[in-house]
Amino acid sequence: MTLVLITGATRGIGQAAAVELARQGAEVALVGRDAERVKSVAREARAAGGGGDGRAPVHEHVADLMLMSEVRRLAAEVEERYEHIDVLANNAGALFASRKETSEGFERTFALNHLSPFLLTNLLRARLDGGRVVTTASDAHQSGRLDLEDLQSRKGYSAMRVYGTSKLCNILFTRELARRAPELHANCFHPGVVRTGFGKNENGFWRLATTLGAPFFRSPQRGARSLVWLALSADAATLSGEYVVDEKVQLPSAQAQDDALAAGLWERTAQLAGLPAEATAA
């Protein structure tokens, strides 16, 4: 039975993926920051196919992944509960209209969209041996501009540029993870422009834009399809280090294919995450 741990599981793509994974017979471990929403999605996933009558169970975990202390607590909780994780789906992410730092001193977009999946994956690496790591990236990475000397956007903040840079980081992380951890199958994907809660955590322009644009966006179910495909499909089992769009491997931007940049990002991120060099070595 395949165990999938999925973050950002209470809205949009994550919620749709969790339900579909359960429907396809996977054991699903949901992660969200709101306990009531986690319970609600767990009920939906169980109704779809998991959690009873001999079917795969659905588990619930609550953590605010914008905080690295919470990432570490979650990792410890997961390690204690599960002997092996077949799939880690790094799906949690957000766009923030203005630059603010968390209580730990990290810019919010960088913390949630990149630092959190980097740290969680590394902390769970022993439990993932032979498994798959699926990270939700975006075609928005093409607007990103990665400066290793300014990972936290102190020199200037533009919401879409910073978001795009965080998605570029997701692809570079995937590329470097595949190189450093050949025992894993690490891939990322672009879900398309999806009707989710994305952008609605902020007031003003982004909330209005996402509301007005919603009728033209993909459904969360369609956006989740590549995540589910990368997690469970036999066709995806041999892929590693790839960027996927609509269940097909595609080339990301030139910057996203820069191996030296990927290695540099990895080293800087490991330092910020407080991981010793040997913990993230090949």
Complete DSSP assignment for the chain:
--EEEESSTTSHHHHHHHHHHHHTT-EEEEEES-HHHHHHHHHHHHHHT-SSTTSPPEEEEE--TTSHHHHHHHHHHHHHH-S--SEEEE------SS--B-TTS-BHHHIIIIIHHHHHHHHTGGGGTT-EEEEE--GGGGG----TT-TT--S---HHHHHHHHHHHHHHHHHHHHHH-TTSEEEEEE--SB-SSTTTTS-THHHHHHHHHGGGSBPHHHHTHHHHHHHH-GGGTT--SEEEETTEEE---TGGG-HHHHHHHHHHHHHHHT--GGGG--
**Is residue 82 among the annotated active site residues?**
no
Catalytic residue among 82, 157, 163, 243: 163
Place of tokens 């066709």: 235
Residues known to be catalytic: 163
